[in-house]
Structures are given as C-alpha cells and as structure tokens.
Amino acid sequence: MEALRDIWDWLVAAFDEDQVLVMWLVVISVATFVGSLIAVPIAVVKMEADFFVRKQGGVIPRTPWRLARRIAKNGLGGLMLLAGIAMLVLPGQGLLTIALGVGLLDFPGKRRLQLRIVTTGNVKRSINWIRKKADKPPLELPG
C-alpha cells in the first residue's frame, strides 16, 4: 500500500511540474491496458494445446527477410515484457502479457521460464478459462 501512495505522490508532484509527462503516462497506461485486453486473448486462443509438450526446434535466419522478422519479433516481445512489468502496478493483465512477451523473445532458458510462468496457478487458470470460452481444449503441460 505504501508503494501505491509513493506512486500517487510522485504523480501529483509530476502533474504540478509537468502536465505533458503525466498526460503521456496516462496515454501509455490506457494503450497498454486496451492492447493487452485485445492481444492476450487472441494469442492464448491461437496457441496450440500441445505447445508446451511438443519438441521445439530453433530456426536460424538465413535470409534478410527472416532476420528482419526475428528482430521485429524480439522487439515486440521486449515491448510486451516491459508493458507486462508495468501492468503489475498499472491496470492490465501483467502476468499474461509478460508470458506472451517472453514467448516472443529468443534467449537461452526461455522454455523453462515460460513453463514457470504458465504453471503459476492464476496464470494457468486464466489461460484455460480464456481457451474454454473460445471452445479450445486446455493447455497440456508436462508433468
């Protein structure tokens, strides 16, 4: 609760000093909230039920198009990761957005981190609830 009070005090002080900064913070917060409400359910529904149990193979980009696509995918993943972290204290689906952002990034240990996030009780329940509403089977998880 103290952290929220500190954020509120900072916003009040910033509003008094720089109304443009506060306006941009509000715009970014609303945009990430609305964007996550649209993008997260779409991605969860489009995900195959066996995504976490099938073997994944990495593709090395050999053409400029593939390399550009991979860079764009990682950029979007980074933005989603940052937005998800922000949504832990701002309105939005923080953990689900973080999980999707991590899914778009390429780094060693990604699979383990994804499983750790997705097997968290609330995240797993939320994903399977969204999938159930779309008449999709629940995610299959290892173990």
Domain boundaries, the chain: 2-133
Would you say residue 17 has pLDDT above 80?
Answer: no
pTM, whole model, 2 decimals?
0.58
Which is more confident, 21 or 24? Answer: 24
- pLDDT tens string 69-87: 889 999 988 988 888 888 7
How far apart CA 92 and CA 100 sit, in angstroms, is: 13
Q: What percent of the chain has pLDDT over 90?
A: 10
Asked if 124 and 96 touch (Cβ cutoff 8 Å), the reply is no
